[in-house]
Chains A and B, each alone.
Chain A
């Protein structure tokens, strides 16, 4: 049952992506992208990350995509001439994308054990088993509150990156205002 749901949403996500890049109108592209986002949110829930799924909907669909649509409408970019590249551009794009896809799919071959083995052979800077205790996330999530299990590392281990990210957001905020304003 769950796998059926998984594949339905997976298909929807791929379809949304394909349509997103093929639609002439930016509005339509944005809407198709929204469907992909929703599908991904569902997949996150299936993968046991309900919290991420919720944030996916809130941040991406609720904020980012709305921003996109807002800009599209602000610039009145509704129907425009086709902005697809020429035949040679398409061919090059397909070749590169194809190669990339093949290589990425090769990652599929990676199983956790193989990854752990490769990490173990790498420089002895990290203890593989200590760094990646298998299934730990689920156990932590099951043992504690989900939010707590995320908050622990976020505000302990990754406190400094977290703070840097907040500064980044502030900078982005200021930057966006400065750039978007007509005259300062």
Chain B
């Protein structure tokens, strides 16, 4: 078996997907869609890990596991936050949320 297959195309695809995720974050104001875009970015990174794991060993896969775990945790907490905010403001539009300002 050829040791490294589709390395270049995979990395390119990963770059495209990541860029799409960034563009989504920048374009949308809906907090839920924002989270989806973040997930998209994380997936793009996972693809990079998997692609390079062909070269560098199974540590890449281990990293993917960690990323998935963190992503799951992040989605759970993030969505809970959105729920809480929605309850207060009846909106998930980021333009209305500026609690971070001191």
Q: Are A and B in direct contact (Cβ within 8 Å)? A: yes
**A39-71 to B contact mask, C-beta < 8 Å, 1/0:** 010011011110110011001100110011001
A180 is contacted by which of B7, B20, B80 (Cβ under 8 Å)?
B80
Interface positions, chain B 35-61, Cβ under 8 Å from A, are 35-37, 39-40, 43, 46-47, 50-51, 53-61
CB neighbours (8 Å) of B64 from chain A are 49, 52, 55
A140 to B12, CA, bound (A): 26
**Contact: B55 with A49, CB < 8 Å?**
no
**A79-113 to B contact mask, C-beta < 8 Å, 1/0:** 01001110001101110111011001101101010
User: Is A8's beta carbon under 8 Å from chain B?
Assistant: no
Other CB < 8 Å A-B pairs besides A48-B54, A96-B26, 11 of them? A37-B43, A49-B61, A85-B29, A132-B56, A135-B54, A137-B60, A153-B58, A158-B62, A169-B73, A176-B79, A180-B83
**B74-96 to A contact mask, C-beta < 8 Å, 1/0:** 11110111111011000011000
Given A47-B6, A101-B16, A176-B77: A21 in contact with B92 (beta carbons within 8 A): no
CB neighbours (8 Å) of B12 from chain A are 105, 108
User: Is A117's beta carbon under 8 Å from chain B?
Assistant: no
A interface size (C-beta, 8 A): 92
A-B contact pairs, 22 of them (CB 8 A): A6-B9, A13-B13, A21-B24, A21-B27, A29-B33, A47-B6, A49-B53, A83-B33, A92-B26, A93-B23, A101-B16, A104-B18, A131-B56, A134-B55, A137-B55, A154-B62, A168-B70, A173-B76, A175-B77, A179-B80, A179-B84, A180-B83
A37 to B25, CA, bound (A): 18
**Contact: B92 with A75, CB < 8 Å?**
yes
**Contact: A59 with B19, CB < 8 Å?**
no
CB closest chain-A residue, reference B81: A179
**B residues apposed to A, CB below 8 Å:** 1, 3-24, 26-30, 32-33, 35-37, 39-40, 43, 46-47, 50-51, 53-62, 64-66, 68-77, 79-84, 86-87, 92-93
* B11–chain A nearest beta-carbon distance, Å: 5
CB neighbours (8 Å) of B93 from chain A are 83
A100 is contacted by which of B3, B22, B33, B82 (Cβ under 8 Å)?
B22
CB neighbours (8 Å) of A131 from chain B are 56
* B64–chain A nearest beta-carbon distance, Å: 5
**Contact: B28 with A83, CB < 8 Å?**
yes
A179 to B69, CA, bound (A): 20
CB neighbours (8 Å) of B32 from chain A are 26, 68, 71-72, 75, 77
User: Is A150's beta carbon under 8 Å from chain B?
Assistant: yes
A53 to B73, CA, bound (A): 20
